[in-house]
Amino acid sequence: MRYLSIYFTNLLCDYLATRKPELKGKVYVFTMSQGNRIMVTASSKEAEKQGIFANSVLADAKALVPDILTFDDRIDFNKKLLIRIAKWAIRYSPIVSIDLPDGIIIDSSGCSHLLGGEGNYLETILNKLKESGYNCRGAISDTIGTSWAIARLGRKSPIIGPGQQYNALLNLPPMALRLEQPIIQRLHKLGFDKIGKFIQLPASMLRRRFGQEFLIRLGQALGTEEETLDPIILKPPFEERLFCLEPIRTKPAIEIAIEKLLEQLCARLEKEGLGIRSAELKGYRLDGQVTETKIGTNQPTHQIPHLAKLFELKIAQIEPALGIELFILSATKTEPVLTHQEKLWSGKPGLADKNLAQLLDRLAGKVGPQAIRRYIPQAHYWPERSLRPAVSLEEKTEIKWQKANPRPMEMLHKPASIQVTAPIPDYPPMNFRYRDELHLVRKADGPERIEREWWMEPGEHRDYYILEDDKGRRYWVFRSGHYDEEHSTWFLHGFFA
């Protein structure tokens, strides 16, 4: 594992300076009340030149600089600012954690090669932050502890090679181990001003004098003690959670949970003018397994009853096992909800009718979205190119459907070869054989000649016939090219309803 630690030398002041350029060159500090005194929590570079540092008393600071500017340090402002920076840093690694009070930790394992190695990786991130106005330092090593120490106290290379954290820590002071102040003072009293002076002492002796926490911190820096990150997780923009007081196992309880989640989620979506196109429901079970249920809609909607019915069709697929203790509902795809103007005198709203969209959604939930198809016409005479699947119900085209001659409701993807008996040229067949079944023709219409689009591909024209067999079934067949008693080829291309 490789970890990158970034240390912000003066986070609050740098943040304020980027938003108030007029403060450049002025003495200012951040303050916070602590008991009966007002303490300085952060100071600008100019304030530090005047001897005013963090943890100074504001009264003493004003004695040094009477016209000093002060700003309130809001509670958890440092943390909120670091979280924003950590979310920005996720573009460089999926695992980023804040390191209070003045840093972030990035798990750079397997990421640095994307920017040309660890040197370029570190330089790129630091330069981006400095361009935004932050003064910062960084270091990369095998452990979080060593990266933290080198970023703040290291004076040589910021990149520690694999397995080299022992040597990198030898000349650093004890505070590099992230120890409590009383332990650091005790170490200095004993003359341990560098880690190298006590790192080889027996663990039992160090534990007896400085406690178990001391050994844990030392082991974390060296890599002998495990240390994990608490990464920042980007919450999806539209997600709701429902924690269950008791594990849920029954269908009615799951339905109630879904309705509550939909009420919360749809309220947010309605305020934004958005609707759900796809949503995902996750159920976290007691046994550690996660159940996933997904729905989709033909039109964006935030209608709770309709969405609840779609999920109801999927409840049978949810296996609660010992029980579900947490539900998470996410709107994985949203789109603006368009309100269609309905005409008072028209009872046929057509595809704009939301009832039609809701019906299609319910059918898709039962038989699958792949079983529902809508086609729109294309500007081609050749039957295979005369239509294409529509992307959505709202998609429209200026091209009109061909009405001069009827077309079948269902066309084969590839015309099927058939055996035909025809009396004379240009007469419709008397019978034909398709899939080993002989069809006797009782009625026929045609021919309709369709020329091949020669500018797209060479080939013969087609003569199409509409045939009805003795069982009342109707077919669309064609002869390829002109009639030839010995070489005429016939094909079945579609079926009428």
What does the pLDDT look like over 469-492, one tens digit per residue? 999 999 999 999 888 766 778 999
Q: Cis ω on the peptide bond leading into residue 447 (within 30° of 0)?
A: yes
The beta strands (E) that lie in 249-367 are given as: 274-285, 290-301, 324-336
3-state secondary structure of 193: coil
Predicted confidence band at 197 (pLDDT cuts at 50, 70, 90)? very high
3-state secondary structure of 294: strand
HSE at residue 239, side-chain half, CA atoms within 13 A, is: 13
**Which pLDDT value is given to residue 22?**
87
The span from the CA of 353 to the CA of 31, in Å, is 61
Backbone angles phi and psi of 166, in degrees to 5: -60, -55
**Which pLDDT value is given to residue 455?**
84
The span from the CA of 399 to the CA of 388, in Å, is 12
Helices 203-210 and 181-189 pack at an angle, to 10 degrees, of 120
Predicted confidence band at 352 (pLDDT cuts at 50, 70, 90)? low
Query: Which domains, ranges and CATH numbers included, belong to the chain?
Result: 3-140 (3.40.1170.60), 148-222 (no CATH), 240-336 (3.30.1490.100), 410-495 (no CATH)
3-state secondary structure of 418: strand
Cβ(299)–Cβ(357) below 8 Å: yes
362-376 pLDDT, tens digit per residue, is: 777 677 777 777 778
End-to-end CA distance of the chain: 65
**Which pLDDT value is given to residue 34?**
83
**Which pLDDT value is given to residue 350?**
60
Put simply, whether the predicted model's pTM sits higher than 0.75 gets the answer no
87-107 pLDDT, tens digit per residue, is: 999 999 999 999 998 999 999
301-313 pLDDT, tens digit per residue, is: 898 999 999 998 8
Cβ(387)–Cβ(378) below 8 Å: yes
Distances (CA, A) of 267 to 303, 332, 339, 482: 10, 16, 17, 65
Q: Which residues contact 189 (CB under 8 A, 6 or more apart)?
A: none
**Which pLDDT value is given to residue 363?**
74
In eight-state DSSP terms, residue 57 is: B
The span from the CA of 180 to the CA of 183, in Å, is 6
Residue type, 43: S
By DSSP bridging, strand 69-72 and strand 290-301 are: unpaired
What residues pair up with 433 in beta bridges, in sequence order? 419, 438
3-state secondary structure of 299: strand
258-289 pLDDT, tens digit per residue, is: 999 999 999 999 988 899 999 999 999 988 88
